[in-house]
Chain A
């Protein structure tokens, strides 16, 4: 059942099941992890974690010297939030995860100060924007911590030119309920590798949303560790790859504690020669994670020839005593029946296409719950689509 399934753009392929009698192909929990660059072997491009990425474009981020100094950020004050630079030795650093690839370890080895965003009580929405990272290869480290019982929404908004490898840690204390939105609306030339680790405590809920629209190569790998009983993770992603663009996400959900729940939904569109998207969804249900309820899915909409969508769900189960586990992946051309339905109501073909694609993608945008950002992303998606015609 955890046979990797790879679907490409040729026709519609469906893959779906809901059972859990499985023999793992590879044990995700045993993947090597270290904060030190030199602990990882040289990257050949054949590794599971690198085989879909354009490694040659990323050598500088994987092995090069990185500028790890603090950079300019913009944020309006928001009640219940604190933003400050903290030292590498701060107790929060390393509390949510450890790099599993050489580029992430390179970032960890190189950063000088970490950006700490703290949420307490009923925090107001906080948007932290970075627009001026520049062309020098950089390392960054960010920690978002949500105090016990706190609520809030943090938007990490990335724009402009960048060559960046970074780690983000998200720590949810018991009963916290927060949303983290990572928006990659970089300049067309940007290279960006990110590992985002979340550790979710007892009764806490994380909603995590990745929006990747701009950049030449953008890889955001979120992982959620459901560490406390009753922890909940909803992981969403939306991406739109144009000609020559590589957008990748390797999602990992680790059900560690009992009665934990996860939902993963990533949706993407591809348009233009060389547009490439990658989604790998690993779910591990640990042996203590009885009563787990998990479902993950990836849907890709192919809008032109010359694109490639890799979509690989993996489910690995160490206990049979669970509520449910399922996954689905579908990559397909435009649904002609949807087009026919709309056209049969008088809507011209180009307008019908626009409606269907925007509808397909905005299902994720609607999850954000921040009207101004939703409106901006909706416009950005419209622009992506307009560029395609």
Chain B
């Protein structure tokens, strides 16, 4: 069974005002097939955790470890992490002019699998996956994320999740900016990947709304760069009623 293990992770970034310490010792273990929700107020370090796992160069790891089945993730380049089976669905997917979705998906699939996908089946696989996410076929010919609406970008992220079949997915505020219909479609995609491939999920969100469609096994509350409380799905319900105030008061 695959395991992603984060131990005492400390991360900082450089800002104009100097070094800013964001993660102050995070412990988190996700096993294959588990769904973990990471919740917390803005600025608590949720996205920093996501980008640090994926290896974004802006984030400096100052201490602790991330291991994936015993392998040192922090020693891997960004693309090595992806090829090892980690996937980050981004909050703000980047536009890539002149690179079509078709070309991008084939290139990524080839890189992840180490061989070109079968010409005979790949086109149909992409089309079917797009259909399930209610994406118009014309998307395939468009440039990556160029002119996509917020909802289209998120569906495109989940499309990649379903096609690339990672072992662990980090969803960074995938629910933000989605209307109810789009939220359902995107959640169904995540649930499909979870059921079909035994995907482990780290679902980062500010709101409990998405948890009505994706049921977490564990909920972690992030406050000021640390896990302040952990529990089962009932913790999310409590947050829905009470908000984050009591953690912030306790902190003060």
Contacts and interface: CB of A to CB of B under 8 A. Distances in A.
Contacts of A345: 79, 82, 104, 108, 111-112, 160, 164
Contacts of A337: 94
A118 to B, nearest CB: 35
B99 A355 contact: yes
Contact of B98 (A342, A347, A362): A362
Contacts of A349: 77, 79
Interface in B98-121: 98-99, 103-104, 107-108, 111-112
A366 B96 CA distance: 15
Interface residues of B, number: 29
Contact of A341 (B87, B96, B112): B96
A340 interface: yes
Contacts of B56: 340
A351 B56 CA distance: 18
A365 to B, nearest CB: 9
Given A341-B96, A345-B160, A355 B107 contact: yes
A356 B95 CA distance: 10
Interface in A307-361: 335-338, 340-349, 351-352, 355-356, 358-361
B97 interface: yes
Interface string A354-378: 0110111111001000000000000
Interface residues of A, number: 25
Contacts of B63: none
Contact of B111 (A338, A340, A347, A356): A347
B236 to A, nearest CB: 27
A348 B96 contact: no
B13 to A, nearest CB: 14
Contacts of A358: 98-99
Nearest to A347: B111
B79 A343 contact: yes
A346 B99 contact: no
Nearest to A362: B98
Contacts of A348: 79, 111
B78 interface: yes
B90 interface: yes
Nearest to B114: A346
Contact of A351 (B78, B88, B111, B160): B111
Contacts of B97: 359-360, 363
10 contacts: A336-B57, A340-B78, A343-B77, A344-B81, A345-B79, A346-B83, A355-B103, A355-B107, A359-B96, A359-B143
Given A336-B57, A347-B111, A348-B79, 7 more contacts: A340-B94, A341-B90, A341-B96, A346-B83, A358-B98, A358-B99, A359-B99
Please give me the 10 A-B residue pairs with the lowest Cβ-Cβ distance, nearest first. A359-B98, A346-B82, A343-B78, A345-B108, A359-B99, A346-B111, A346-B112, A343-B79, A341-B94, A363-B98
